[in-house]
Amino acid sequence: MTSQVRAPRAQPVPRAKPAGRGRPSKATGRDLKETILDAAEGLFARHGFHGVTIRQVAAEAGVDTALIHYYFGAKRELFDSVFLRRAEILNTARSVSMDAYEKNHPGTMTVEGVIEAFIEPLLRISQDGGQGWKSYFALVAQVNNTPAWGGETMARFFDPVVHRLVETLKAVRPDAEYRDLYWSYQFLTGSMMLALSETGRIDSLSNGECHSSDLGAVRARLFAYCAAGFEAVIARAPQG
């Protein structure tokens, strides 16, 4: 059993994909990488990093497990690739949104306006971007709440745009303390990520009156909620 000579391949099957489950056309090369990332994204979002196996990703993508290692290396590198792919798009969209807001409201910026410019791109992308983006936000929400390594991962990808938000708010409310702004942001991100991850909890909680997937309902409330929260924290008698 130890040093057995490898037998030659039994059947040199002429490269027939095992009749993929309805996936469009046989992807290859760069497209195949995207297919793998899509499959990994959906599974990681639903079950977390440790809840997904390379084999599941391979089966979902319709490829061999070795191919995943060939393209992405170790499992954790695959996860990072999934996380990175959309993070850049997200950061760009947010930068553009905040640029536009600052440009269009010279001297008339409000806390709610800044916050809307910060959050709205995510809602729009989630509504218009397809299932992939919804999975991605669920993934980020999980990482955001992971004590072991969530903090570092979030910081690595998203700190710059958050610092920009805080600085812009500081410009709007020069007398606000940074501590208050950072804590308020912490509250904001908890609400925002939970709302974007569409866990389905509010559906049953509200007896069907609200739906996780109703991002219009989120849009109609989240900006006002967070802005009022910021204002209240800033205005509150300083206590440390």
Nearest of 120, 143, 92, 136 to residue 192 by alpha carbon: 120
Q: Which residues in the 37-56 window bind DNA by CB under 7 A? A: 52-56
233 is a site residue for a second copy (CB under 8 A): yes
Under the binding rule (CB under 7 A), the answer on residue 25 touching DNA is no
With contacts defined by CB under 8 A, name the span among 3-11, 59-67, 103-111, 181-189 that binds a second copy: 181-189
d(CA 132, CA 41): 7
What is the CB neighbour count within 10 angstroms for residue 157? Answer: 19
Compute the distance between CA of residue 227 and CA of residue 236 in angstroms, rounded to an integer.
14
With CB under 7 A as the rule, give the number of residues binding DNA: 32
Q: Is 78 in the site for a second copy (CB under 8 A)?
A: no
Q: Which stretch binds a second copy (CB under 8 A): 5-13, 28-36, 118-126, 178-186?
A: 178-186
Contact 79, 44 (CB under 8 A): yes
Q: Is 184 exposed, middle or buried (0-12, 13-18, 19+ CB in 10 A)?
A: buried
**Residue 84 binds to a second copy (criterion: CB under 8 A):** no
Helix axes 111-128, 75-104, angle to 10 degrees: 130
The site partner of 147 among DNA, a second copy, none (C-beta below 5 to 8 Å per kind) is a second copy
Tokens of 68: 């995943």
Residue 222: CB minimum distance to DNA, A: 35
Q: Cα–Cα distance between 88 and 158 in angstroms, integer?
A: 9
DSSP classification of residue 208:
T
Residues in 134-153 that interact with a second copy by CB under 8 A: 138, 141-142, 144-148, 150-152
Q: Which does 63 bind (CB under 5 to 8 A by kind): DNA, a second copy, none?
A: DNA
Q: Minimum distance between the CB of residue 11 and a second copy, rounded to whole angstroms?
A: 30
Return the structure tokens found at 67: 């191919």
Nearer to DNA, 62 or 113 (CB): 62
**Residue reference for tokens 């410019």:** 117
Which 11-70 residues touch a second copy, going by CB under 8 A?
A: 45-51
Residues making contact with DNA (CB under 7 A): 1, 4, 6-15, 17, 28-29, 32, 52-56, 63-67, 69-70, 73-76
